[in-house]
A and B are shown apart, each in its own frame.
Chain A
Amino acid sequence: MRPRTRSNGFAATATSRQINANKKTSPMNMLVNDHSARDQSARRPLVRIVIVGHVDHGKSTLIGRLLHETDSLPDGKLDALKAVSDRRGKDFEWSFLLDALQTERDQGITLDTSQIRFRTASRDVVLIDAPGHAEFLRNMITGASQADAAVLIVDVTEGVKEQTRRHGYLLQLLGIRQVAIVINKMDRVDFEESRYREIETTIVKQLAGFGLTPSEIIPISARHGDGVAQRTAAISWYTGPTVLEALDRFSPAKPLADLPLRLPVQAAYKFDDRRIIAGRIETGQIEVGDVIAVSPRRATARVQSIEAWPEPDESRAPQTARAGQSIGLTLDQRIFVERGDIISAIETPAKAAHVLRARVFWLNEAPLTVGAAINVRVGMSESRGRIAAIVGAVDPGLLSPSEGKVIAQNHVGEIEIALSQPIAADVYAANPRTGRLVLDLAGRISGGGLILSIAEEDRGSAAADNPTPQQITPAVSLFSDGARARAGKLAQRASRLETLLASLSPAERLARFRGETDGRIVFTTSFGLEDQVILHVIAEHAIDIEIATLDTGRLFRETYELWAETERRYGRRIRAIYPQNESLEALVEKHGINGFYASRDARLACCHIRKVEPLNRALAGAAAWVVGLRADQSSQREATRLVAVDERKLLKLSPLFDWTREAVQTFVAANEVPANPLHAAGFASIGCAPCTRAIAPGEPERAGRWWWEDDNKKECGLHVAPERRTARLAGTGGAAS
């Protein structure tokens, strides 16, 4: 270790000077024709690092010290800073290096963010200074948002303060995951290790609460240089890296070429005969010939060319482009593409969001409130929106913040925004670039954050094209947890679809429901009258809905005959789902072949193995389920709704929910729909042969099912509303629909 002087508080170490000594030239800075240095510079990585922390904890001094230690200051700068300090009657003040504005110097505070460059042995560093005052948080965010990594500085004599926490929280929200902690002013506590440990424990715990894990925690004295470029004797108990070494360990941001393609469209140009779609690839890559999807409008086309200027020879025309490049391309079809659209790979398109949930920070003086109209930007896309809900609004600077219902200036919270037009977007977890949003009021940026979840635009209907916030705003908060949020979204869709389909015929209901739903829809039939009506409609209107039946192995002979006749009549196969043979064999082994008569539990076990479990397989991966329930079938089914949410997290459509038995019979007769001859013999609801009997005139429809049991338990477990989940978990059995 070389001796240092402390006279003016910023003595350089000889070692750091040596880093640059070999690059130095004559005193006049004349050229030395050093090509190796230039080549090195081109290849040296560039890392952007923001220095954040509470006011007066030493951000500017650390930056000054780093520049000084790496011999990065221009000639005359130190003298100029001394003169500026003298003029204000101050000791030498490092902050004047970056606080260039007169107001900043006069008031001794950093107003706005600034940047300065220096070099370590291995890389170029852009240091971003961020103001520590709460009122300039917008400027801290402006600076920090450009950083690949952060240094959070804490004054050992003051410990963790509001802005330490606020900055820590915002780093996380800005997507910065590389963070080193610097514990400054160690000289003020005689470099006591115990004081360092104290702060270390506190800050690690508090940052963990924000989801941040610091890479290093470095004890330093920025003023005297300990721990900045050297582990001095004073901190001999510390074995970790110096600040300079820690900076060298940060990685520059990498272009996200491995994620699915996202090309937000900036503009479509028609300067000549080419129609060029211009934008910057945020993630992924693109190649001439790729089929792309345009969100949110669901158009597709093939990439015809990647355009460039100066125009290359045909043989050298670019064929591929990747994340980070600003490009122009032409498509093989004249589809409408405009600013705000996102071009994606066809397999993994961006979502067409019309409701967004996001964790945001808010910068405007007036707080953000529920009902506020706001402009939402994702990529180049913009839409008006309304704040539908706010939860967990807190001041992240407070140690135990209380949750509010509005997001005040410089606070954070989770919001739900109902958009007036769908915009292309992703959730942050899927794509960090198209998964973040910016909020603006009248063109002025007022907040921003990460998208946590998206409710997609629903296709087709007029109602879906122009949803009012009321229509898509849930009555209750969706925020309690992920599962509830998803269920809440489904409930929203169910109630919206219910409104949409209520006045329609069953055929229109099925067709419209199909159009409104992304993904597979499965209709399960037991060949009852209602099921036959639905099957008839699906087949006659060629609606894209799968038809499946659960063959328990114990159905009536007549039912099997009807099955075959139905396939013949409608010319399509009905998918059969069977019980798992091992479970069934074990069941019969345990209870005997007709064990279900012995106890309700045995009956429910049989229903479960022969119907419920196979049904779960039939519905696996489906988005929706169509059934033949009617509300007037039984007391259990009174609450049947047109569109409900099944506990399997799918929509359940009962297109005949409001029909009477007579209406069903009339339809069957009029359309010569094949029907089970057992109906004529007094069987109203037909399930498994051993468990179904005919009913007498005037008996409830389902009285013939499990007739030896009470009426209010005559369900097998296929149809259980979520709120009655406990009944099913107790083990219910199966009624055919």
Chain B
Amino acid sequence: MERLDDLEAQSVFIFREAFARLKRIALLWSLGKDSNVMIWIARKAFFGRIPFPVLHVDTGKKFPEMYAFRDRYAVEWALDLKIEPCPPLEVIDPTLPPAARSAARKTEGLRLALAKYGFDGLIAGIRRDEEPTRAKERVFSPRGREGEWDVRYQPPEFWDHFNAAPPAGAHLRIHPILQWTEADIWAYTKREGIPIIPLYLARDGKRYRSLGDADITFPVASRAATIDAIISELEATKIPERAGRAMDHEAEDAFERLRRNGYL
């Protein structure tokens, strides 16, 4: 499985760069398969214990299985877990389509957490193959003072040299698994024996491919009841991973707007 080794080595490298070059970083834990893989790799990078906080920006609307998972593994993995609540829907931009508006609570929650802790780097588990605006991301991606992403002026980034000097008050998003695919995530989860939330596995002909807020996330038709089965399914499927995430599909630019405003 040489490809997974390469991906892992690259991600470890990125984690160590973020830790070396920034003053105050946190890993964003959405409790999903991708951020679980990130946590696992971070533990490899730092030989067991992650030397910075793990931040769960909590919408309060996650599936119960997700909260159970969080509470169990925060202890088991000895995480320095910080839970930050998101503000209510009323304060969110009303011009956004409903699901996007709901998702934007997380952007606000992030902004509050940034202000509270003064992080200059947030490690996020987005991947290029998920969605076309994420495909345009840098590994070290600058965000403005309000957390905004200026996609028109992304700095050059090459040969594993990163721009790691955010202006005061601004921060960087660090994307250690940007190169991974959904299939890579599952193959690695299987190989390393990383625990998962059971919602990913098919029950009654349905499973969740991507987990978000319970009210705006929907399962897809699937009989994949094991990780092996998920991997085989991904070989064949032509349904996009985020098909079940409502906020991506409300308008042509709904997700881009979310992301430009600081969403992940």
Residues of A near any B CB (own CB < 8 A):
23-25, 28-35, 37-38, 41-42, 46, 73-76, 83-84, 87, 97-98, 100-103, 111-117, 138-139, 141-142, 145-146, 174, 266-267, 269, 271, 274, 276, 278-280, 307-311, 324-326, 328, 339, 363, 377, 380, 436, 438, 440, 442-446, 448
Contact = CB atoms under 8 A, between A and B. Distances in A.
B24 to A, nearest CB: 16
Given A31-B232, A102-B256, A326-B9, 4 more contacts: A29-B238, A97-B132, A324-B5, A325-B9
Contacts of A83: 252
A38 B235 contact: yes
B236 A445 contact: no
Contacts of B224: 31
A267 B165 contact: no
B47 A307 contact: yes
Given A24-B236, A103-B152, A117-B129, A29 B221 contact: yes
26 contacts: A28-B221, A29-B238, A30-B222, A30-B223, A31-B202, A32-B232, A32-B236, A35-B232, A42-B1, A46-B3, A75-B239, A98-B135, A114-B135, A114-B136, A145-B158, A271-B47, A271-B48, A274-B47, A276-B47, A280-B9, A307-B47, A326-B13, A328-B47, A443-B164, A445-B161, A448-B158
A29 B230 CA distance: 11
Nearest to B238: A75
B163 interface: yes
B221 A115 contact: no
Contacts of A87: 252
B151 A111 contact: yes
B221 A30 contact: yes
A142 B256 contact: no
Nearest to B4: A42
Contacts of A97: 132
Smallest CB-CB A-B distances: 8 pairs? A443-B165, A100-B132, A145-B158, A326-B12, A138-B156, A29-B237, A438-B161, A326-B9
A31 B158 contact: no
Nearest to A280: B13
Given A98-B135, A444-B155, A31 B229 contact: yes
Contacts of B76: none
B17 interface: yes
B43 interface: yes
Contacts of A84: 252
B205 to A, nearest CB: 8
B232 A33 contact: yes
Contacts of B223: 30-31
Given A31-B233, A74-B239, A307-B47, A142 B20 contact: no
A392 B77 CA distance: 56
Given A28-B221, A101-B133, A445-B155, A326 B45 contact: yes
Nearest to B43: A309
Contacts of A377: 161
A102 B161 contact: no
B237 A37 contact: no
Contact of B16 (A33, A41, A266, A442): A266
A101 B238 contact: no
B71 interface: no
Nearest to B205: A30
Contacts of B48: 271, 309-311
Given A75-B239, A377-B161, A271 B51 contact: yes
Contacts of A446: 156
Contacts of B4: 42
Given A112-B151, A114-B136, A324-B9, A141 B229 contact: no
Nearest to A377: B161
B21 to A, nearest CB: 9
B47 A445 contact: no
A266 B135 contact: no
Contacts of A30: 221-223, 233
Nearest to B231: A38
A34 B228 CA distance: 9
Contacts of B164: 443
Interface centre among A101, A271, A279 (most CB of B within 10 A): A101
Given A30-B221, A100-B256, A267-B19, A37 B158 contact: no
A324 B154 CA distance: 27
A142 B5 contact: no
B138 A38 contact: no
Interface string B5-26: 1101110110011011000000
Interface of B: 1, 3-6, 8-10, 12-13, 16-17, 19-20, 43-49, 51, 128-129, 132-133, 135-136, 138, 151-152, 154-159, 161-165, 181, 183, 187, 202, 221-224, 228-229, 231-233, 235-240, 252-253, 256
Given A33-B232, A443-B165, A444-B165, A101 B47 contact: no
Contact of B47 (A37, A115, A145, A309): A309
B228 A326 contact: no
Contact of A325 (B5, B20, B187): B5
A266 to B, nearest CB: 4
A279 B128 CA distance: 25
B165 A34 contact: no
Nearest to B9: A326
A289 B156 CA distance: 40
A363 B240 CA distance: 36
B249 to A, nearest CB: 9
Contacts of B132: 97-98, 100, 114
A557 B144 CA distance: 87
A276 B237 CA distance: 43
A306 to B, nearest CB: 12
Interface centre among B159, B165, B222 (most CB of A within 10 A): B159
A620 to B, nearest CB: 39
A442 B43 CA distance: 31
Given A46-B3, A103-B152, A271-B49, A23 B133 contact: no
B243 to A, nearest CB: 8
Interface centre among B6, B133, B156 (most CB of A within 10 A): B156
B127 to A, nearest CB: 11
A35 B155 contact: no
Contacts of A448: 158-159, 161
B47 to A, nearest CB: 5
Contacts of A98: 132, 135
A103 B260 CA distance: 12
B175 to A, nearest CB: 13
A29 B239 contact: yes
A84 B223 CA distance: 33
Contacts of B138: 142
Contacts of B20: 266-267, 339, 380
Contacts of B128: 115
Nearest to B156: A138
A113 B16 CA distance: 25
Nearest to B240: A74
A444 B232 contact: no
A269 B133 contact: no
A24 B159 CA distance: 38
B15 to A, nearest CB: 9
B129 A38 contact: no
Contacts of A141: 156, 158
A25 B237 CA distance: 8
Contacts of B9: 280, 324-326
A34 B232 contact: yes
Contacts of A139: 154, 156
Contacts of A76: 240
Nearest to B135: A114
Given A326-B16, A438-B161, A142 B156 contact: yes
Contacts of A309: 43-44, 47-48
Contacts of B135: 98, 100, 114-116
B192 to A, nearest CB: 9
A29 B233 contact: yes
Nearest to B8: A326
